[in-house]
Structure 1
Amino acid sequence: MKNKIAFFDIDGTLIGFNGIDLIMPESTKMSIKKFREAGNLAFICSGRQIRFILERFGQDMFDGYISCNGTHIMFQGKTIYEKFISKDMLLLLKNSFDKFGVSCCFNNGYKGYSHNMDSDRIKKYNAQFKGEPYLIADWSIDEIIVNSLDIFYKNEAVLAKCIEHFKESLIFNFHNDDLSADVSLKSFGKADAIEYIVDYLNIPIQNTYAFGDGYNDIEMIKRVNTGIAMGNAVENLKKVADYITSNIFEDGIEKAMKAYNLI
């Protein structure tokens, strides 16, 4: 059995925008390398799709990947768990977003399905991926397999309506500077995926750590033994974290891992 296991969100935690591109600090790369060399396990735990994760990080930097906000889990290169959104729920979401004037894309690990997205938004979304476009515009609900989604809203008032309408079933990890949000299921999210992999690998909960910065990281941070919020995290996450480290570009992950003698 491995010694410890750590889970890392991506955006705002592992990588950040430096004004030109999304980059991963060298101190973060080295800290994860040292952590794994000591016999520990490092997992990504993100709302991002597995296609993006593998294109950005490859197969060798981490031991496993929790993607699509918990609904897809890979370990040692193999998918060991996947959860999909029902057709009835997809239809409900589509109709509700139409009512609110919200555009969206329904995702799985390798393909996305755009709905009422304008051409500039589609181009920007596809630019995150290498090779062929990620988004498909011509589709029907009966044909698609989906385990996560993103929405794009006109203003914060529209987002507030979505949050209120789906308060019992969805978590909106919103990015108001971009008027977008990745959306996760309350019925099965990052925290549930962590619990699944910890049970799968028979690792004691006291040996678990998580690093995050967003609203969809709150339950993850609460579920592990030691939850660490980045200095750039939202305030709601900082309130439930066991430790608040410095910002992503101020060696936040390295400092936190040293604080807990993980490296």
Structure 2
Amino acid sequence: MKVLFYDADGTVMTKNKIPDRTYEAFRLLKANGILTVLSTGRSLPSIRSTPLEDLGLTNCITAAGGCVIINNQIVSHDYLTEEQRDEITDYFDQYHVPYNIECNDGLYTRIGEKERQLKRMPITLKEAGSLSEVERNKNRRSRFFKQLKEVESFKGMHANKIHWYEDKRMYDDGMITKSIEDIQKHFSSRYNVNPLSFNGNKGGGEINDKAITKKKGVEMIMKHFHIDPNDAYAIGDGYNDLQMLENVNHAIAMGNAPKEVKRVCSYVTDSIDEDGFYNAMKHFHLI
């Protein structure tokens, strides 16, 4: 059996849509008996009610490796300790950095923060730039508003990761208080700090425990299904894909991936807008 681990945003999905040729590739992969495994930085709440569900989620790696699902059962769940979670959120609160925490049961933020976070999805023509973008942002707002819950305290919550936004629209007077470089300098010795890969975000990043990566999920899936290393493929475009890509025999970078990701891969395909996923599957004769 061959297995394909695939990232979500920037790899098979862009602007919350999956290209037609990518859908076709998945149909052919299934017909050819290829085991496909979603491997994403998104936590479960950010996957549900998106086109990713159409691709099948029986086996998947979510929260950048924090949660592993095999045959629809959660078999592994690692998350930030309360002390780690509070260290990060206290820092963001101190500098008024907008953020939310991702848990398996939902997305959470402080009371009063939801409206602030919606500012990154403008619904006026002047701010959005086009009617199609206005409609897209209305849909994004509706989904996000339902997903994100405001709470007084994060006590007792198992945070898979925390992500923050570096978007001037969300800051008072448009002044970003902490850049991604500031946050990396402050936290990177103790945590994974990666730029966001969600399409449509102007900037920001995500933080999780250094021990949590997609590598663990890859190893668990391969062991469970008795996959030969030479039959393992992975494709991605983001920094949190690095350890996934470094631990399979056939590593594929999307054309839109940064050079650090392309460097560890044996093959670079086209960008997502140029049917890169479909073309890569053709190149490796998986379809």
Name the TM tier (shorter chain).
Answer: 0.7 to 0.9
Q: Which of residues 27, 46, 53 in structure 1 aligns to 2:47?
A: 53
Q: Which residue does 2:151 correspond to in 1?
A: 138
Structure 2 counterpart of 1:117: 113
5+ residue gaps, structure 2, are 122-138, 169-175
RMSD: 2.6
**Could you state the TM-score of these two structures normalised by the residue count of structure 1?**
0.87
- In the TM superposition, what are the counterparts of 1:221-232 in structure 2 within 5 Å? 221-232=245-256
The answer to whether residue 22 in structure 2 is matched with residue 28 in structure 1 is yes
Q: Which amino acid aligns with 1:251?
A: D
* Comparing 142-151 and 129-138, the one that deviates more: 129-138
1:170 is matched with 192
**Equivalent AA in structure 2 for residue 11 of structure 1:** D
Q: Is the 8 A contact 1:55 1:129 kept in 2?
A: no
- The match for 2:10 among 6, 9, 12 is 12
Worse overlay, 155-164 or 66-75: 155-164
How many correspondences in the alignment?
257
Distance 1:7 1:228 in 2: 10
Q: Aligned partners of 2:274 and 2:59: how far apart in 1?
A: 26
- 1:118-148 CA deviation, whole Å, 9 max, x = no partner? 5141476893674972222223232322112
The structure with more radius of gyration: 2
SS of residue matched to 1:32: helix
CA distance in 1: counterparts of 2:206 and 2:83, whole angstroms: 20
The whole-number CA distance in structure 2 between the counterparts of 1:40 and 1:258 is 13
Unaligned runs of 5+ in 1: none
Deviates more, 1:168-177 or 1:37-46: 168-177
- Tell me the secondary structure at the aligned position of residue 262 of structure 1: coil
Q: Do the aligned partners of 2:97 and 2:178 also contact (CA within 8 Å) in 1?
A: no
* 1:64/1:75 contact within 8 Å kept: yes
Same amino acid, percent of matched pairs: 24
Number of the residue aligned with 1:103: 98
CA distance in 2, matches of 1:156, 1:30: 44
Q: How does 1:20-99 map to 2 (within 5 A)?
A: 22-56=16-50, 57-58=52-53, 61-99=56-94
Asked if structure 2 preserves the Cα contact closer than 8 Å seen for 1:8 and 1:44, the reply is yes
What do the CA deviations read for 1:38-92 (whole angstroms, capped 9, x no partner)? 1220011111122332322337635422111111122232222211211011111
After TM superposition, the score normalised by the length of structure 2 is 0.80
Q: Which moved more, 1:32-41 or 1:245-254?
A: 32-41
What per-residue deviation string (whole Å, max 9, x for no partner) do you get for residues 203-232 of structure 1?
122211111111111121111111111111
Q: 1:152 aligns with which of 165, 172, 197?
A: 165
